[in-house]
Amino acid sequence: MEGNEPRRKRNDKALDEDVPMPRQEPEERVKNFDEVALGYTEEMALAEAARCLKCKNPQCQKGCPVEVPIPQFIDMITQGRYDEGIAVIKSKNALPAVCGRVCPQEQQCQMNCVRGKKGDPVNIGRLERFLADWEREHGTKASARPASTGKKVAIIGAGPSGLTAASDLAKLGHEVTLFEALHVAGGVLMYGIPEFRLPKEIVQKEVEYVQSLGVDLRLGNLIGRIHTIPELMEQGYDAIYIGSGAGLPQWTGCPGENLGGIYSANEFLIRVNLMKAYDFPESDTPIRIGKHVVVIGGGNVAMDCARISMRLGAKVCLNYRRSRNELPARREEIENAEEEGLVCNFLNAPVEFFGDEKGWVRTMRCTSMELGEPDDKGRCSVTPIACSDFDVETDTVIVAIGQTPNPIIQRTTDGLKTNPRNGTIIVDEDGRTNLDGVFAGGDVATGAATVISAMGAGKRAARAMHDHLMNGKKGDRE
């Protein structure tokens, strides 16, 4: 097919709009856990790729935390050279099928797209997904193994950050061991993001790709317990990357929070996504969901919990302490959730939970909040309004107000500098910790953030680790 054909078919006005993503209808998808966004067909991908203006000085690429050569891969699509297109992406990004689905492109590459000034930007994410899915259907090409450097590297945590660092370091010829605490690799991609946004089979295919680069994956290894960081150094690892994420749930601290029926977002997500509780009793791990679920929080995790609850048959409302404008979740996720029937209650916060005679949550007392002045980051403060308490009837509450890093590694690594406020590991811009040869990045260093920012950190750290391994910058830092 001629690359420019779709461009001729559509007039200028039509080119201002992107090719819509085919999706399952809301009334249908709320009854299943299948993927909501169905992906571009080849025809759609060609039409969308043809919208790329092939700028001399492409801005999109500057917005990508993992430096994907965006114009090149889009150009390959327009030429129908899909295998070369995916190779272009994989030169920088080991997880394109994941990024094409869950990256907030609207705040990154697409935000910079020149087309976006007048209409919709080129939908780079959907094109990336198209190529990744094309490759999966047509067979993944194994990469050539580089010559070994003889250096050994340990990566802790097989989430997006660790997988990225592992693949970059393996491509550079280092011997990489990837330690994962859970019984499957993927981290938040497996336990956190639900099946209908990111099918788990796809995550496992990406993990297999990383393994095909020569990475030795060790499941069920909780570093800090089975081996500590100093012990890994003694075992002969020349450098270590800590990408253990932010897995420790935060709580509201309100009285009654330990009643039955109150879940942390993590518990809820682990049961449903990782352990497939939505298939219970076909699967072994159960989940108890009531008729009226309240999700506390306003981020993507809160949206995921709400959308899962609706699929499990509950009526769901989301209680967020600020207003709609401040919702940290992606716009697309909020729209998806509301289409599926989510009711949002803004400007209120929980103060106490009350249970029935069996110790199960029955009522959540809330107080109304009002917005104050924006702070230096532009985020409005909120303050409770006096004597504004009201009660919400509920039988299931999901607390989705954020996560902090798991403290096990920090507690078992003498001298590792951490932020006393939230337990994050202190690193420089390239992920160096204060310990020689020990690097960290992703949520464990930043606190809970996005998949792609964790991948970007893994990429930068891999570069710095390579430098450390090859140029032996031992002793540079105290």
State in angstroms the smallest separation of the CB of 265 from other proteins: 9
Q: Cα(398)–Cα(266) distance, rounded to whole angstroms?
A: 9
**Residue number, 275 or 371, with CB nearest to other proteins:** 275
Interface residue with other proteins among 264, 319, 348, 424 (CB under 8 A) is 264
State in angstroms the smallest separation of the CB of 403 from other proteins: 8
**Residue number, 61 or 396, with CB nearest to other proteins:** 396
**Cα three-residue angle 466-217-145, rounded to 5 degrees:** 55
Q: Assess 286 for contact with other proteins (CB under 8 A).
A: yes
Interface residue with other proteins among 46, 88, 154, 181 (CB under 8 A) is 181
Binding to other proteins, residues 393-452 (CB under 8 A): 406-408
Interface residue with other proteins among 87, 111, 114, 248 (CB under 8 A) is 248
Q: Say whether 16 sits in a helix, a strand or coil.
A: coil
Query: What does each C-alpha distance from 52 to 67, 155, 223, 321 come to in angstroms?
Result: 18, 38, 45, 40
**E strands, 148-235, in order:** 152-156, 175-179, 216-218
Q: Cα(77)–Cα(49) distance, rounded to whole angstroms?
A: 7
**Residue number, 211 or 406, with CB nearest to other proteins:** 406
Q: Assess 291 for contact with other proteins (CB under 8 A).
A: no
Interface residue with other proteins among 146, 150, 359, 472 (CB under 8 A) is 359
Q: Assess 266 for contact with other proteins (CB under 8 A).
A: yes
Beta-bridge partners for 391: 365
Q: Assess 220 for contact with other proteins (CB under 8 A).
A: yes
Q: Cα(199)–Cα(192) distance, rounded to whole angstroms?
A: 12
> What is the DSSP secondary structure assignment for residue 34, as one 8-state letter?
S
Cis check: omega of the bond before 281, within 30 degrees of 0 = yes
State in angstroms the smallest separation of the CB of 158 from other proteins: 14
**Residue number, 109 or 155, with CB nearest to other proteins:** 155
Q: Assess 136 for contact with other proteins (CB under 8 A).
A: no
Looking at 316-324, 355-363, 377-385, 429-437, which segment touches other proteins (CB under 8 A)?
355-363
Question: Residues 123, 125, 131, 134: is their CA dihedral positive or negative?
Answer: negative
Give rounded-to-5 percent helix, strand, coil for the chain: 35, 20, 45
Query: What does each C-alpha distance from 374 to 326, 368, 371, 382 come to in angstroms?
Result: 11, 18, 9, 9
List of residues 6+ apart from 184 with CB closer than 8 A: 190, 204, 219, 274
Query: What does each C-alpha distance from 179 to 75, 216, 232, 243, 286 come to in angstroms?
Result: 38, 8, 11, 10, 28
Q: Assess 221 for contact with other proteins (CB under 8 A).
A: yes
Interface residue with other proteins among 16, 120, 257, 352 (CB under 8 A) is 257
State in angstroms the smallest separation of the CB of 461 from other proteins: 23
**Residue number, 179 or 196, with CB nearest to other proteins:** 179
State in angstroms the smallest separation of the CB of 433 from other proteins: 20
State the residues that interact with other proteins by CB under 8 A.
181-183, 191, 219-222, 225-227, 247-249, 251, 257-261, 263-264, 266-267, 270-271, 275-276, 280-281, 283-288, 358-360, 406-408
